[in-house]
Chains A and B, each alone.
Chain A
Amino acid sequence: MQSKLSDIELIEQTLAGNQFAYADLVKRHQRFVFTLAMRFAKGREDAEEIAQDCFVKAYRSLASFQGQSKFSTWLYSIVYTTAMTFLRKKRVDTDSIDDEGTFVQIESHESAYDTNNVENKSRSYYLNQAIEQLLPDDATIITLFYKGEQSLEEIAQTMGIETNTVKVKLFRARQRLKEKLERNLKHEVKELI
C-alpha cells in the first residue's frame, strides 16, 4: 500500500534517514519514469536500467531539490537527461539509433508476430504501437502532456527548451502520432481482409 504523504513530506523523511520513505516515492513514480524510459530505450531491460539509474541519481541529489517546482518535474528532467545520454551512447554503438526508420523497422518486425493475435488487440494497443514508432522526443512530449500532468511550462523545464518550442513540438508530435495511428489501423484492416 502506498503512502498518503505528499512528495515533499516523503523527501523530508528520506533526508532524515528513512529509506522506506524513498521506497514510497519510487513506488509512486516508477510507472511513469519507466514509461518515459521506454520511449527512449524500446526494450524493457534497458528501460529498467535507465529508470533505476534515474532513481539512484535522484536519491544522490535529493538535498539539492529546492521545492521550487513539483518533485515530478524535477525527477522527469533527470529521466530526460539520463535517457538522452543513454541514446547518445547507444547511437555511438549502433551508428543510427536516432533514425526514425530504425524504430519503424523494429516495430514492424514485432507487429508481424502480433498479427496472429489481432482479434485481441484494442485501440490502446494501436495507440501504444504508434507511440513506439515516434521519435523519442515526440513520444516524450506526448507522454508528459497526457500522462505526466505537466503543463507546457513544466515540459519546457523538463526538456530544457522554450515553452513556445514545446507548443510547436507538441502540435507536430500529435500530427505524427495521428498519421502513424491511421497507418497502423489501415494496415491491420488489410491483414484481416
Chain B
Amino acid sequence: MNTIEEKLWNYIDGTCTPAEQEAIARLIEQDELYKQKYTELLVLNQEFASMELDEPSMAFSYNVLEAIRAEQLAPLKSTINKKIILGIAAFFVLSILALLIVILSNVKISGNLFSGLDVKLPASLKLPSASSIFNSTLMKSFFVFDVILALFLTDSYLRRKKAAKEA
C-alpha cells in the first residue's frame, strides 16, 4: 500500500497511470492533508533540483588526454578486427582438418559394422625429415631474415624509449 508521500512523489514525477494521476489531482483539490503535503513536496522537489554540480580542476580535461596519450591508446576500433580473428580461426580449423585427412588416409579400415571392423594403424607415417628442412637454403634465409627483423625492431624500440626519456 502506497503512503501519501509515495503517491504524491509518483504524481510529481509523472510515473503513475492517467487514472491514478486524475485520482491524486482530485485528492489534492479536496483533501487538506494532501494539499499541504503536495505543496511541501513541490518545494522540496524544487530545492533538490537546484543542487549544484562540482567543478573539477582546470587541468582536468588536459590530464585525461595526457593519460590517454601516455598509454598510447587507440579506440578499440583498430584493435578489434573481426576479420583477423576469423582468419586465425580459419587457419586453425584448416590445420586440424589437414592433420585429420593425413591421419585418416594412413589408417586402413576393413570389414563391416555387423561382422566387426578391422582397423590397422600404420607402423609409421611418412613425414618429411626434419634435418632436410632445417638444412635447406630457404630455411637458413628465413632465420637470417628473422634475426635482422628482430634487430631492427629492438633498435626502433630503444630509440623510442630514449626519445621519451629525453622529452
Q: Given A14-B75, A15-B75, A56-B73, decide whether A31 and B53 contact each other with a Cβ distance below 8 A.
A: yes
Number of B residues with CB within 8 Å of any CB on chain A: 32
Pick out which of these stretches binds chain A: B25-33, B57-65, B134-142, B157-165: B57-65
B39 within 8 A of A: no
Pick out which of these stretches binds chain B: A47-55, A81-89, A95-103, A104-112: A47-55
For chain A, residues 49 to 99, give those with C-beta under 8 angstroms from any C-beta of chain B. 51-52, 55-56, 59-64
| Pair count A-B, CB < 8 A | 101
Q: Given A59-B68, A59-B73, A60-B76, decide whether A23 and B61 contact each other with a Cβ distance below 8 A.
A: yes
When the two chains form their complex, are residues B6 and A22 in contact, meaning their CB atoms are under 8 A apart? no
A35 to B52, CA, bound (A): 9
What 1/0 flags go to B9-43 for Cβ under 8 Å of A? 11001010000000000000000000000000000
A156 within 8 A of B: no
When the two chains form their complex, are residues A63 and B77 in contact, meaning their CB atoms are under 8 A apart? yes
B51 within 8 A of A: yes
What 1/0 flags go to B70-82 for Cβ under 8 Å of A? 0101011100100
B132 within 8 A of A: no
A19 within 8 A of B: yes
When the two chains form their complex, are residues A48 and B60 in contact, meaning their CB atoms are under 8 A apart? yes
Which chain A residues lie closer than 8 Å to B166 at the CB level? none
A60 to B47, CA, bound (A): 38
Q: Identify which of B13, B50, B64, B75 contacts A62 (C-beta below 8 A).
A: B75
When the two chains form their complex, are residues B6 and A127 in contact, meaning their CB atoms are under 8 A apart? no
Which chain B residues lie closer than 8 Å to A40 at the CB level? none
Which chain A residues lie closer than 8 Å to B54 at the CB level? 31, 34-35, 38, 47
Which chain A residues lie closer than 8 Å to B50 at the CB level? 123-124, 127
A124 to B67, CA, bound (A): 34
When the two chains form their complex, are residues B52 and A124 in contact, meaning their CB atoms are under 8 A apart? yes
B111 within 8 A of A: no
When the two chains form their complex, are residues A52 and B6 in contact, meaning their CB atoms are under 8 A apart? no
Given A38-B54, A59-B73, A170-B9, 4 more contacts at CB 8 Å?
A22-B65, A51-B56, A128-B51, A178-B44
27 residue pairs of the A-B complex, CB under 8 angstroms, read: A19-B68, A22-B68, A26-B65, A30-B61, A31-B55, A34-B54, A34-B56, A35-B53, A35-B54, A44-B57, A48-B56, A55-B64, A56-B64, A56-B67, A59-B68, A60-B76, A62-B77, A63-B77, A63-B80, A123-B47, A124-B50, A127-B51, A128-B52, A142-B51, A143-B51, A146-B48, A174-B44
Binding site for A on B (CB under 8 A): 5-6, 9-10, 13, 15, 44, 47-57, 60-61, 63-65, 67-69, 71, 73, 75-77, 80
